[in-house]
Amino acid sequence: KIAESHKLTENNTGLTLNICVNYGGRWEIIEACKAMMKKGVASEDVTEELFARNLQIGDSGDVDLFIRTSSESRISNFLLWELAYSELYFTSVLWPDFGKKEFKEALLWYASRERRFGKTSEQISEKNANK
């Protein structure tokens, strides 16, 4: 099914879907640190950008929307770094039953969110007033 899905979507460019098997966010962070150490990166040279590039899927960027099914309300050690400014959507629908209708609901919810990326509403208002 994965190979079939890959072939079906190989020319799509609007969405990145990552499927992580036997993966853990803490492991990924440790592995990024080890990779930088092996390359001889000095501690004072470590930046968020450099660190992110050393993650397992470092070229994928941050996650915009995280969807968690089955009434679970935790991220369970999943993409710990990449989820820093993600919108977290929780649903009681079980994964096998999560279809187009549920995905559309999640996207509509996401579209209603005010994306602030760590800034307060006051900081955004002040920035907009100074434009």
Residue ranges in the chain assigned as alpha helix (H): 2-9, 25-38, 48-53, 100-111, 121-129
Kindly state the DSSP code that residue 12 receives in the 8-state scheme.
-
Report helix, strand or coil for 68: strand
- For residue 103, give the amino acid letter: F
Rg (CA), the chain: 18
What's this model's pTM, rounded to 2 decimal places?
Answer: 0.73
Of 112, 119, 130, 103, the residue nearest 17 (C-alpha):
103
What are the φ and ψ backbone dihedral angles of 100, each rounded to 5 degrees?
-60, -40
d(CA 112, CA 12): 25
CATH superfamily membership of 2-129: Decaprenyl diphosphate synthase-like (3.40.1180.10)
- In order along its 131 residues, the chain shows pLDDT tens digits of 889 988 999 999 887 777 777 889 999 999 999 999 999 999 999 999 999 999 998 778 788 999 999 999 999 999 999 999 899 999 999 989 999 999 999 999 999 998 877 777 777 667 667 76
Q: Which sequence spans correspond to the domains of the chain?
A: 2-129
Distance CA 126, CA 78 (A): 34
In this structure, are residues 53 and 75 in contact, taking their beta carbons and an 8 Å threshold?
no
- Cα–Cα distance between 126 and 99 in angstroms, integer? 40
